Structure 1
Amino acid sequence: MDLNILIVEGNIKEDSEFFIKAAGASAADNLKNLILKIEPTINIEIINPGHDNETANAIKNMSKYNGIVFTGGAMRLNDMTDIIKKHINFASNCFNHKNKILAICWGLQVCSTAAGGKVNPGKNGAHIGIASNVVINNEGQKHFIYKDKKNIFTSPAFNFDEVSDLPKDAILLSSDKVNNVMGVIFNAGNSEVIGLQYHPDYEYFQMLNLIAGRKERLFNNKDFLSEDEYQKHISYIKSENELLNFKDRTCEVRNWLHYIKN
């Protein structure tokens, strides 16, 4: 069976250009490359909710998709610009249909908001390129998304905001010291959403390039208070890069693809 997947780009044009320069691909293309590496025969379409014609077309043809992935992105949900409203509105429209949705980082924040949850700046700080010691709880250990994943893992991650209030009846799957909501499942309308507040789709070298590109902003925001602190963080990510392998990092994406296939 040929699988059809819709990837929903989480960035506006300017941010996408930064991602392409720093990480070698837009958020959507980066995810597309990973999916095709795991399952080369999948048909993938990419849309951007900022483009009304693309969303109208996707909504019209919604029944043909076996799965939808919302990618990460650089916007901040509480800015609530017209573009952000379009992202939320598109997620709400997806929920009217029977969809299997994987929502990553910004995608989780958009889908959570569309489903009645809340997103706020992280009260314990940010993940800057990495999330350390994410703990899979008992519910997570029973869920297919974490099949073959270590119960405590470290992963590429980049976010300043977090899901502060979960949608109704959501089940928390994993947490770390920075964000309580790292992995979660919930039903929204007719859709089922699996959300991850970290990036199985990115590698650490891409995160290091994104950090370098945002260095000035990170210092302005007081995420780092000295060059020494910054360099220690970079060294830590490099040391974790040595330990990361493709299979461990991408486990959740592979498990989700297996799920929508069957």
Structure 2
Amino acid sequence: MLRLLVIDGNTSAGRRRIAESAGATPAESYAAVLRAIATNAIVDICTPADGDGTTPQPLDCYDGVAITGSSLNIYQREIESLRQIDFVREVFARGIPMFGSCWGLQLAAVAAGGEVGLNPAGREVAFARKIALTPAGGDHPMHATRDAVFDAPAIHSDIVTRLPQGSIVTARNAMSEIQAAEIRLGRGVFWGVQYHPEYGLHDVAAVIRRYGPMLVTEGFFVDVADLDRYAADLSTLAANRQRRDIAWRLGFGDDIMKESVRQIELSNWIASLVRK
């Protein structure tokens, strides 16, 4: 039986805000996805941003650690971020396999000596389009069975600007030269992506509604009504996958519509690193 740990990258206030719109905290949603992929897994949650570095079980009891997204900006060096950097360094030191989405990739990069900054290309919203595997990514087990080019759920304005020495970039797109990477530190191995393979359409709709007028101001939607229509389409499609008209209009293929495809990196992480 596997025992997995999910690190929620948000503060307590951030978790509450997300739960109000999405129905669950990021870690709760992430844990549910991991349980669906590894049906025999026990999945625990911890919140090091809160200053409580304890885990439900001793850290060495875990076969793998996954890290959620976050509304924090790591270059602000807030105490909630610094606590997580220390926590991830400890996981690296113990040689426990890690996977991270969005903030998780940024956190592991900084913990291992890399850098993160605001993306000069702007925010990537709802879906990262035309992510392309690098030559190294095409052969990397994290992306096994992935198409060479694909789309994925995403929401971020920060990117990894410099990876630690010895890291491998496995995917990129026009918005970010580092959409996925492998990072090593000491005995530890981390696989991470700038997108969110754990997100379903319901989660993306919640993100759009939560960001609201900010996305209108940034030019992603003409007005709030336009935003509401887009979010409603996502919610409708989440509830009824047979709405091919919506999927066609929004340009969604299997990489978005099929969980088994959307979650490939998570499944491969469990199969290749956690169950090794």
TM-score (norm 2): 0.86
User: Does 2:153 correspond to 1:156?
Assistant: yes
Give the 3-state SS of the residue equivalent to 2:165 in structure 1. coil
Deviation at 1:231, TM superposition (A): 4.7
Instruction: Name 1:47's counterpart in structure 2.
Output: 46
| Matched position secondary structure for 2:105 | helix
Q: 164-173 or 21-30: which moved more?
A: 21-30
- The answer to whether structure 1 residue 247 and structure 2 residue 247 are counterparts is no
Call closer, same or farther: CA 1:223–1:179 in 2, change over 3 Å: farther
Match of 1:190 in 2: 187
- Partners of 1:204 and 1:241 within 8 A in 2: no
The aligned residue for residue 13 of structure 1 is 12
- Whichever residue aligns with residue 113 of structure 2, its letter is G
- Alpha-carbon spacing, 1:182–1:233, altered in 2? closer, same or farther (3 Å): farther
Counterpart position of 1:120: 117
Contact 2:6 2:27 in 1 (8 A): yes
Residue identity opposite 2:222 in structure 1: S
1:230 CA displacement: 5.8
> Which residue identity lines up with residue 93 of structure 2 in the other structure?
N
Shift of 1:242: 6.5
Instruction: Output aligned runs, 1:83-122, within 5 Å.
Output: 83-122=80-119
Aligned with 2:171: secondary structure? strand
Identical aligned residues as a percent: 21
Measure how far apart 1:50 and its partner are: 2.3
Q: Is the 8 A contact 1:129 1:204 kept in 2?
A: no
| Structure 2 contact 212–224 (Cα < 8 Å) conserved | no
Distance apart, 1:245 and its partner CA:
1.0
Deviation per CA, 1:55-98, whole angstroms, max 9, x where unpaired?
2447x822211111111111111222111111111111212111
SS in 2 for 1:86: helix
The equivalent position to 1:234 in structure 2, one of 225, 230, 237, is 230
Instruction: Choose the corresponding residue for 1:139, options 136, 144, 147.
Output: 136
**Offset at 1:24?**
2.2
Distance (Å, rounded) in 1 between the aligned partners of 2:129 and 2:223: 21
What secondary structure does 1:180 align onto? strand
Match of 2:66 in 1: 69
Runs of 4+ off more than 6 Å = none
CA pair 195-215 structure 1, distance change in 2 beyond 3 A = same
Give CA deviations for 1:148-169 in whole Å, capped at 9, x if unaligned: 1111000101111000011111
What SS does the corresponding residue of 2:121 show, helix, strand or coil? coil
CA distance in 1 between partners of 2:144 and 2:172 (Å):
17
The answer (yes or no) to whether the contact 1:68–1:102 under 8 Å persists in 2 is yes
- Cα distance, 1:70–1:228 mapped onto 2, change above 3 Å: closer
What is the rounded CA distance, in whole Å, between the counterparts of 2:162 and 2:97 in structure 1?
22
Question: What is the CA distance between 1:217 and its match in structure 2?
Answer: 2.7
Determine helix, strand or coil for the equivalent of 1:103.
strand
- SS of 1:116's equivalent in the other structure is coil
Taking structure 1 as the reference length, the TM-score comes to: 0.91
Given the alignment, which residue of 207, 212, 221 partners 1:210? 207
